[in-house]
A and B are shown apart, each in its own frame.
Chain A
Amino acid sequence: MSAANLRLDLPDMPEAAAQLRLDVRAFIDEERKAGRLPPPERVGLGFSQEMTKRIAARGWIGLTWPKKYGGQERSALERYVVTEELLAAAVPVGAHWVADRQSGPVLLKFGTEEQRQEYLPRIVAGECGFCIGMSEPESGSDLASLKSRAQKVDGGWKINGRKIWTTNAHRVHYMIALVRTSVVEGARHAGISQLIIDLQAPGVTISPIISMAGEHDFNEVLLEDVFVPDKALIGQEGNGWNQVSAELAYERSGPERWLSSFRLIAELIDVLGPDARPSSQEELGRLLSHLLALRQLSMSVASMIQQGQTPNLEAAIVKDLGTKFEQEAVRVVRNIVSAENLTAHGRADRLKALLIHAQQYSPAFTIRGGTNEILRGIIAKGIGLR
Chain B
Amino acid sequence: MRITDHPILGPAEAGREITIFYNGAPVPAVEGEPIAAALMNAGVRSFRRTAKRDEPRGIFCAIGRCTDCMMIVNGKPNVRTCITGAADGMRVETQYGYGGRKEQA
A and B pair up = no
Interface residues of B (CB under 8 A from A): none
Interface residues of A (CB under 8 A from B): none
